[in-house]
């Protein structure tokens, strides 16, 4: 019997078929339904799902590497995989019966928005939810959608013991959610990251979760890692794959391109060689930091059953550095591509746009350096989002 492929090998097996459809994906502004279904059937959206629910429950480094491989084929598809995978992590916080109901079909895809853009009013122990959420990547292919909501009770915003507003993720069937096509963007065009909205939807309490106040039901070491941290790491994987593809695309075209008035190919120019080498080194170093930090954190979590605050800070630091360094490396590739990089048929312009779209995510914005720095310097820090 032929052994089953690992999720990483499965992802690599999808790369050619995804790469063949990049123009279609960008024009449609979403991940095609048939491709999403094929990826789901192959188990790619279950890389972070608990084994008890039929998931792979991979170590974080393998989750990142799987997303990275898909993003190397196309960043938008990698981004949709990242969103589907990281939202599925939340099921580890739910009662098993509820989580099993959500993931009854092994080909289920989840999605949504962690940001608490909705309002949830307590009603007989459950939640009456209304709201509109932006940035709902991959939502058209989802069977369940998650949306963060502020909790209101007795006419007032409910707060946690630390004084911060209480918010919970509401898990809603796709049929109860309105999808609004607002996704006309410069980068990650194929992610279908439009808006979603609900009005006065009753969500059972057991289909909600606080990623701050609640604790996971599942006991695997993966669920010691904070969901927000795993989200940032998934973004880093997508950025790494996208940037590597940009440098590979540049490499394959340099030998054939001769700058105007030059007898030498672009690859033979010293300035090009220097900048290409620097970009490759930058990307490789950031990736090494990312995976070294991930592997060290995983080893410690498996041994001690804990992911310390300092480790969480170092993970976020490595993720942010990866995303922002990947954008820098992609910019260098775009610059070295010359005027031809402006044309839509050049992959360099798409990789450039996608790389800089990723830097806008709040989990990897420059402010996360400050958050990590406060922890590493031993200063008092609100680490609820770390």
In a domain, 168, yes or no: yes
- C-alpha–C-alpha distance, residues 349 and 338, integer Å: 11
Residues 164, 296: one domain?
A: no
User: Could you read off the pLDDT of 82-97 as tens digits, one per residue?
Assistant: 999 999 999 999 999 9
Residues 91, 113: one domain?
A: no
Residues 185, 301: one domain?
A: no
- Greater pLDDT, 212 or 209: 209
Identify the domain containing residue 150 by its residue range. 109-209
Q: What is the per-residue pLDDT for 179? A: 98
Q: Residue 177 corresponds to which tokens in the numbers above?
A: 């959610």
Q: What is the per-residue pLDDT for 341? A: 87
Q: Would the pLDDT of 52 be above 60?
A: yes
Kindly state the average pLDDT of the residues 108-137: 97
CATH number of the domain that residue 126 is part of: 2.40.110.10
Q: What is the per-residue pLDDT for 287? A: 98
Q: Are strands 110-123 and 144-153 parallel, antiparallel or unpaired?
A: parallel
In a domain, 339, yes or no: yes
Q: What is the per-residue pLDDT for 187? A: 98
User: Could you read off the pLDDT of 167-207 as tens digits, one per residue?
Assistant: 999 999 999 999 999 999 999 999 999 999 999 999 999 99
Q: What is the per-residue pLDDT for 339? A: 86
Q: Would the pLDDT of 261 be above 70?
A: no
Q: Would the pLDDT of 263 be above 70?
A: no
Q: What is the average pLDDT value for the chain, to the nearest integer?
A: 94
Q: Would the pLDDT of 370 be above 60?
A: yes
Write down the pTM of the prediction: 0.96
CATH number of the domain that residue 295 is part of: 1.20.140.10
If one counts the domains in the chain, the total is: 3
Cβ proximity of 26 and 184 under 8 Å? no
Cβ proximity of 97 and 104 under 8 Å? no
- C-alpha–C-alpha distance, residues 24 and 14, integer Å: 16
Q: Where are the alpha helices (DSSP H) in 42-147?
A: 60-73, 75-89, 96-102
Q: Would the pLDDT of 272 be above 90?
A: no
Residues 239, 365: one domain?
A: yes
Give which of 3, 141, 6 is closest to 81, Cα–Cα. Answer: 141
- Confidence band of 267 (pLDDT split at 50, 70, 90): confident
- Confidence band of 347 (pLDDT split at 50, 70, 90): very high
Give the Cβ contact number of residue 200 at 10 Å.
9
């Amino acid at each position: 019997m032929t052994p089953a492929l690992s999720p990483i090998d499965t992802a690599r097996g999808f790369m050619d078929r995804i790469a063949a459809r990049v123009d279609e994906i960008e024009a449609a502004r979403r991940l095609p339904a048939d491709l999403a279904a094929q990826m789901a059937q192959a188990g790619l959206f279950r890389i972070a799902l608990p084994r008890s629910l039929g998931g792979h429950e991979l170590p974080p480094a393998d989750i990142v590497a799987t997303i990275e491989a898909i993003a190397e084929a196309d960043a938008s598809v990698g981004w949709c995989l990242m969103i589907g995978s990281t939202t599925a992590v939340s099921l580890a916080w739910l009662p098993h019966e509820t989580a099993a109901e959500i993931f009854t079909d092994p080909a289920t895809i989840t999605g949504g928005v962690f940001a608490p853009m909705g309002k949830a009013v307590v009603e007989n122990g459950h939640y009456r939810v209304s709201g509109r959420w932006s940035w709902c990547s991959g939502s058209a292919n989802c069977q369940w959608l998650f949306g963060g909501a502020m909790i209101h009770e007795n006419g007032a915003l409910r707060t946690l013991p630390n004084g911060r507003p209480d918010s919970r993720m509401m898990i809603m069937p796709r049929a109860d959610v309105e999808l609004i096509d607002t996704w006309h963007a410069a980068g990650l065009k194929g992610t279908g990251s439009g808006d979603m909205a609900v009005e006065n939807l009753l969500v059972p309490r057991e289909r909600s979760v606080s990623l701050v106040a609640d604790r996971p039901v599942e006991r695997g070491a993966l669920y010691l890692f904070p969901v927000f941290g795993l989200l940032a790491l998934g973004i880093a994987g997508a950025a790494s794959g996208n940037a590597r593809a940009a440098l590979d695309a540049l490499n394959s075209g340099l030998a054939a391109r001769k700058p105007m008035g030059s007898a030498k190919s672009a690859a033979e120019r010293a300035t090009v060689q220097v900048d290409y080498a620097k970009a490759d080194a930058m990307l490789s170093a950031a990736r090494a930091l990312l995976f070294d930090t991930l592997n060290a954190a995983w080893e410690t979590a498996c041994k001690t059953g804990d992911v310390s605050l300092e480790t969480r800070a170092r993970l976020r630091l490595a993720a942010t550095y990866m995303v922002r360094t990947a954008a820098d490396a992609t910019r260098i590739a775009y610059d070295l591509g010359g005027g031809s990089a402006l044309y839509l048929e050049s992959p360099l312009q798409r990789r450039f746009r996608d790389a800089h779209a990723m830097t806008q995510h709040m989990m990897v914005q420059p402010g996360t350096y400050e958050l990590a720095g406060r922890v590493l310097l031993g200063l008092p820090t609100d680490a609820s989002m770390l």
